[in-house]
A = this chain, B = another copy of it.
Amino acid sequence: MSAMTDEELDQAFLALADPTRRSLLARLALGDATVGELAAPFAMSLQAVSKHLTVLEQAKLITRRRDAQRRPCSLNREAIGPLVDWLDAYRRRTEERFQRIDDLLARTDGSSPTP
């Protein structure tokens, strides 16, 4: 179904790798907001916040529409699923890996697998 390209994963994870941008997402979970409203709580210029929003938009984590001079931002509903899918697949592979280790240890001796 989903499956993100390498570049999409790069952009999404890079977008999430910044506390300001994660904070903007948290704010948008409370409701749509304009650039000015989003920038107000931060000790940085509105232009800087506008750039962060561009990063979030290109990562498809938010969408921006037009309302007169305002540019209200919304979370993108479809963005999260594929990311969770990716992390879940990673977790599954990781746990299979450790299961193989545990099996191996259990086969050779009876010691505790994770000390």
Contacts and interface: CB of A to CB of B under 8 A. Distances in A.
A9 B19 contact: yes
B91 A84 contact: yes
Given A17-B10, A17-B14, A19-B6, A97 B83 contact: no
Contacts of A37: none
Contacts of A87: 80, 83-84, 87
A13 B10 contact: no
Q: How many copies does the complex hold?
A: 2
A22 interface: yes
Nearest to A77: B98
A5 B90 CA distance: 21
Interface stretch (A24-32, A44-52, A65-73): A24-32
Interface of A: 6, 9-14, 16-19, 22, 25-26, 28-31, 75, 77, 80-81, 83-84, 87-88, 90-91, 93-98, 114
